[in-house]
Chains A and B, each alone.
Chain A
Amino acid sequence: DQQVKQNSPSLSVQEGRISILNCDYTNSMFDYFLWYKKYPAEGPTFLISISSIKDKNEDGRFTVFLNKSAKHLSLHIVPSQPGDSAVYFCAASGALNTGTASKLTFGTGTRLQVTL
């Protein structure tokens, strides 16, 4: 049972436009959400995170939105750049006061291609 879902395997966006990557989750106990970026033959690199007490977190060109009622989060990249072309993984972990706080559950990834 896939608890974190990224339903779009790929996305193509023109340089300078907005990229929106989506992620849905089913486990209401998830408390902390992260986005990782992965280039081929490299490990995932942390991009941005959000705690369940917030609905938005921004870091430069990257913004993550969390809609707890819909169990949905999204990553916005504005403006998109060719160097953003990579696979993006959504991940989630449990509440801080539980043993699941350090266990990450990953989605299957979305391959973003930013074209010139």
Chain B
Amino acid sequence: NAGVTQTPKFQVLKTGQSMTLQCAQDMNHNSMYWYRQDPGMGLRLIYYSASEGTTDKGEVPNGYNVSRLNKREFSLRLESAAPSQTSVYFCASGVRPSPFSNQPQHFGDGTRLSIL
């Protein structure tokens, strides 16, 4: 009963290094999301994928790229890490909203990323 699994849980990078955060869900959800959480702020949407094969920018996409590898997996890549990207990153998945109802998103436990 894993739900949403994120790897790694912790990572320290140097400025300029690249890194891919992995996310997988086993709930057969169509939609997947990447958020970041910074002190004193709520979670902010970086990118999302409404369905396999599509990705779209969220509120704070600069400095990130994403890949929806298949229905289960959605990765987030930092090509050249900057100290401003030090944050806790959360992946989420959910049923794609229908014209009649919406459903909650389900979150992983996060990746704590520090960039020196």
Tell me how many residues of B have a C-beta within 8 Å of chain A.
31
B58 and A4 form a contact (CB under 8 A): no
Is B99 interfacial (CB 8 A cutoff)? Answer: yes
Chain A proximity mask over B72-99: 1 for CB below 8 Å, otherwise 0: 0000000000000000001010101111
Q: Is B53 an interface residue (CB 8 A)?
A: no
Whether the pair A42, B109 counts as a contact (CB closer than 8 A) is: yes
Which among B31, B40, B100, B104 is the interface contact of A46 at CB below 8 angstroms? B104
Number of A-B pairs, beta carbon distance below 8 Å:
69
Task: Given A93-B102, A102-B48, A109-B42, verify A41-B58 contact (CB < 8 Å).
Answer: no
B50/A102 in contact, CB under 8 A: yes
- B residues sitting closer than 8 Å to A (CB atoms) are 4, 31, 33, 35, 40-45, 48, 50, 58-59, 90, 92, 94, 96-102, 104-110
Is the beta-carbon distance between B99 and A103 smaller than 8 angstroms? Answer: no
| B104 & A43 in contact (Cβ 8 Å cutoff) | no
Q: Complex formed: what's the CA distance from A4 to B106 in Å?
A: 20
Q: List 20 A-B contacts (CB under 8 A).
A: A4-B42, A31-B102, A34-B104, A43-B90, A43-B92, A43-B107, A43-B108, A43-B110, A49-B104, A51-B102, A89-B42, A91-B42, A96-B100, A96-B102, A101-B102, A102-B33, A102-B48, A102-B97, A107-B42, A108-B40
Bound-state CA distance A97–B100 (Å) is: 9
